[in-house]
Structure 1
Amino acid sequence: MKSFTAGANDDQVRLSRFVERVTSGLPTGLLYKSFRNKRIKVNGKKAAPDYRLQQGDVIELYLNDEFFPAAPAPRRAPKQPRVRVLLENEDLAVLYKPTHLLCHSDRTGDPDLVSAFLAYLGEKGEFVPDKENSFTPSICNRLDRGTEGLVIAAKTYPALRDMNAIIREDRVRKEYLTITVGAPPKGRHEAWLYHSEKNNKVTVRPQPAEGYKKIITEVEVLEQNGPFALCRIGLVTGRTHQIRAHLTFLGAPVLGDIKYGNRKMNERTGFKTQALCAVRLTFGEIPPENTLQYLAGKTVELPDPEIVRRFHALARAGKD
């Protein structure tokens, strides 16, 4: 038997989800059989899978030891970069992710934004893993490895839950700056996108088709100089590689994009990753029952983005 005491970040978590988080390899059928056989109890009594935990509840799991993860073997963690925080309160932080930094850890073992954020919270004493049952602070939106810019991170479970709802319900507008090869047509553009999981590449077409999802991208051309344009992009939908693939479809690929871009122009300019930066987050209407309702109408913007200077440097180089 394993016993847990619900903490602040377990409050209002569904009991079945809590059990899934603190166990490993527990089959769904056995999970619900354990509920029926009273092998999962809260405060000494039988509890239903949909029971919402309250801070201080004692959860007893009469399950085989094989379903509880063993302590991981110690390994040398990669040195994490110091995280840059643009906005922070007790619920959230808005972070800057530089180009080449992963959002989440992967098999390469390279540094990543989530680990850097956890290290930052650990230094401040705001996250102590041994004091948490199942919650770990996490990011709510992600950027491709080659894209830089703003990422929202949640410090508590309620903030993670409610920010995910805000993003899922399209209550936050995301804007990017990009340098394109050629100037794309201005305005609001619709198309359909298909994502191949096999090669992690997308295809865009002008009409709907089976397996394709609708995409909407807003384009504003801020400056033009020679073959390059500095554009502001608004995402109405947020599909995989949407900006990069949609701009290529519109005839103006993102400079430096090795997957959908103009190879010759990339080589000529020396850009080895996409010139794309998430620069602004604007929160729309948020329902009062959401704990993050205070964000309604607020904007977070990246000050003095490097991508603007890179565009002007290209313009100067073209005059030399």
Structure 2
Amino acid sequence: MKEIIIRETEAGQRLDKFLNRCLPEAGKSFLYKMLRKKNIVLNGKKAEGKELLKCGDSLKFFFSEETMRKFSAAPAGEYPVLDQKYVLYEDEDVLIVNKPAGMLSQKAEQSDVSLAEYLTGYLLKEGAVTSEGLRVFQPGVCNRLDRNTSGIVLSGKHLAAARELSLMLKQRTMKKYYLCLVQGTVQETRRIAGYLRKNPKTNKVTVSDLPAEHASYIETCYEPAAWYEEGTLLKVELITGRTHQIRSHLAYTGHPIAGDVKYGNRKYNQRFEKAYGLRRQFLHAWQVVFPEMEGIFKNLSSKTITAPLPDQLERLLEQLHRQESLHEKS
């Protein structure tokens, strides 16, 4: 017999889903059969599988050790560890980090190493999760950024926190701001809307003013933060959150992001690469503003989390500012 006591990081999920994660090689029909026969019991009683687990609940498996090993997931392997310098905020429930450009948020291929693996390694090192706990809850990201976009990524340290963060993102109860450098001069604050359609074969989207089949409504708000001869630094509020929304929406308005090879202007990008060494899109998830909250997120209530610009982007702006100053003096 083996007993598992449900911890806070595992609470809030259905019993059958927990069993599927705990014994992934067993199969659903086998697990339901074991529940019916009371070979798996919850708090000493027969269970159906739809019960929501609570912290402190007891699960008993009347299996042999050999059977448990046969159906269990393989032990957690080695994970890379996220450098502490990328951590923006951390408490017992939430981890907020500043993702560097060039890193995937989540795996695209099985062989990929993404931010999710770095977060897991960091939490294992800090003792916030255990190798055994990874069988039933795998830390991950709640919001995704493109590989070459840097900035704020949110992660829950346990299931309840991850679910709550994902719900806040879905319901848009937190405000998300980005910084980007775009081609041309933008002098007014605008709130723009349109319709975005994704081509899954090319992983590219198109934007239009009118509704279309399989197109999603999008809304983006931006205001100029600084003007340069080479372009405009925009502060962008993401109202809706669709794939490549900021990049494609701004390009559609005639102001593509510097360094964006997919939606940008090739000559503009080449000029920035030659003059400033820019080989990524100048797009940074800069700030998140949380609403008033209670419960597990009370420490984040009304808090603003800011991710400083990467050194390369900061230096680029400084160069643009110096050149602009010299231009003004002459």
The TM tier, using the shorter chain, reads 0.7 to 0.9
2:173 is aligned with 1:186:
no
Cα 1:8/1:284, change in 2 over 3 Å: closer
TM-score, L = length of structure 1: 0.86
Distance 1:205 1:241 in 2: 14
Partner of 2:53: 53
Which residue type is aligned with residue 154 of structure 2? I
Structure 1 residues 164-313: aligned runs within 5 Å: 164-184=166-186, 186-270=189-273, 271-286=278-293, 288=294, 290-303=295-308, 306=311, 307-313=313-319
Report if the CA contact (8 A) 2:189-2:222 is conserved. Answer: yes
Distance 2:193 2:214 in 1: 16
2:87 is aligned with 1:82:
no
Deviation of residue 155 (structure 1)?
A: 1.7
Cα 1:119/1:132, change in 2 over 3 Å: closer
| Contiguous gaps of at least 5 residues in structure 1 | none
Partner of 1:141: 143
Which residue type is aligned with residue 203 of structure 1? T
Partner of 2:165: 163
Distance 1:72 1:223 in 2: 51
Deviation of residue 177 (structure 1)?
A: 0.3
Give the counterpart of 1:151 among 146, 150, 153.
Answer: 153
Distance 1:94 1:66 in 2: 35
- Counting aligned pairs with the same residue, the percent is 34
TM-score, L = length of structure 2: 0.83
| Contiguous gaps of at least 5 residues in structure 2 | none
Distance 2:304 2:82 in 1: 26
Cα 1:181/1:273, change in 2 over 3 Å: same
Distance 1:19 1:65 in 2: 12
Deviation of residue 175 (structure 1)?
A: 0.2
Report if the CA contact (8 A) 1:149-1:277 is conserved. Answer: yes
SS of 1:209's partner is coil
Distance 2:216 2:42 in 1: 43
SS of 1:101's partner is coil
Deviation of residue 92 (structure 1)?
A: 1.2
Task: Judge which range, 145-154 or 65-74, deviates more.
Answer: 65-74
SS of 1:7's partner is coil
Report if the CA contact (8 A) 1:129-1:136 is conserved. Answer: no
- Summarize deviations over 1:217-263 as a string: whole Å, max 9, x none: 00101112123110100011111111000000111001111111111
- Summarize deviations over 1:19-62 as a string: whole Å, max 9, x none: 22223366666665665565642133221332122333332467
Report if the CA contact (8 A) 1:171-1:285 is conserved. Answer: no
Task: Judge which range, 104-113 or 94-103, deviates more.
Answer: 104-113
- RMSD (Å) for aligned C-alpha atoms: 3.0
Cα 1:167/1:308, change in 2 over 3 Å: same
Cα 1:141/1:73, change in 2 over 3 Å: closer
Report if the CA contact (8 A) 1:258-1:272 is conserved. Answer: no
Cα 1:2/1:191, change in 2 over 3 Å: farther
Cα 1:142/1:7, change in 2 over 3 Å: same
Task: Judge which range, 96-105 or 290-299, deviates more.
Answer: 290-299
Instruction: Report the number of matched residues.
Output: 316
Distance 1:3 1:197 in 2: 45
Cα 1:131/1:28, change in 2 over 3 Å: closer
Cα 1:4/1:199, change in 2 over 3 Å: farther
- Summarize deviations over 1:171-201 as a string: whole Å, max 9, x none: 1111000010113563111111112222211
Report if the CA contact (8 A) 1:163-1:292 is conserved. Answer: no
Deviation of residue 285 (structure 1)?
A: 4.3
SS of 1:118's partner is helix
Report if the CA contact (8 A) 1:181-1:253 is conserved. Answer: yes
Distance 2:5 2:21 in 1: 14
Task: Judge which range, 206-215 or 36-45, deviates more.
Answer: 36-45
